[in-house]
A = this chain, B = another copy of it.
Amino acid sequence: MAKVNHTKFAILGLLTTECRTGYAIKQMIDQSLTHFWKISYGQIYPTLKALVEEGLATVSETTQQGKPDKKEYHITAKGDEVLKSWLHQEITDIPTEKNELLLKLFFSRHQLPDKAIQHIKEYQRKYEEQYETYVGIEEMINATLSHAPDANFWLITLDYGKRTTTSIIEWCKATIEQLEAK
């Protein structure tokens, strides 16, 4: 099975929202896709270029008053087709993260238990923070974008983040308790 470059489709998909420039795409990713898809400029601009070369998008350069020139990208009919066929395609692999905390815990026999607990506490703190940002985004969507056609799906991805984050926080609490009992 040939590997698919999903990032290409992420950018193609963002062109179906109000995002028109590389800069706007980056902003959207940092705000709304960051918990399941991150991309840097170093990938966005070359990908946009490639999209045009493949006929999936068009560019038009516009000069702005007071702001730098920008390139506006628009998805083509062919691009829309390609996006839809990708959406239709089955998902083959479930994601695997590299988890530094679990790696350290795996070898924690070589470490003072207190240090392990400290690592977990810090991890918990970070996820509690993350949970709060999810809630914040959720409130923002509900308040200002609830009738946007994408809103329901956005809330679904946020719910995923909230649920997994909650379960991680619960694991932190249970594990700290267990280790402290020793």
Contact = CB atoms under 8 A, between A and B. Distances in A.
A88 B106 CA distance: 13
A159 interface: yes
Interface of A: 6, 9-10, 13, 16, 32-38, 80, 83-84, 86-88, 90-91, 93-111, 115, 119, 122-123, 126-127, 130, 149-150, 153-154, 156-157, 159-160, 163-164, 166-168, 170-171, 174-175, 178
A38 B156 CA distance: 29
B101 A13 contact: no
Q: Is the interface of A mostly helix, strand, loop or mixed?
A: helix
* Count of this chain's copies in the oligomeric assembly: 2
Contact of A107 (B13, B103, B110, B160): B13
30 contacts: A6-B103, A9-B103, A32-B106, A33-B103, A34-B96, A35-B96, A36-B96, A36-B98, A36-B102, A36-B103, A37-B99, A87-B110, A90-B122, A91-B101, A91-B104, A94-B126, A97-B97, A99-B160, A105-B153, A105-B156, A106-B153, A106-B157, A107-B153, A109-B153, A159-B171, A159-B174, A159-B175, A163-B168, A163-B170, A166-B167
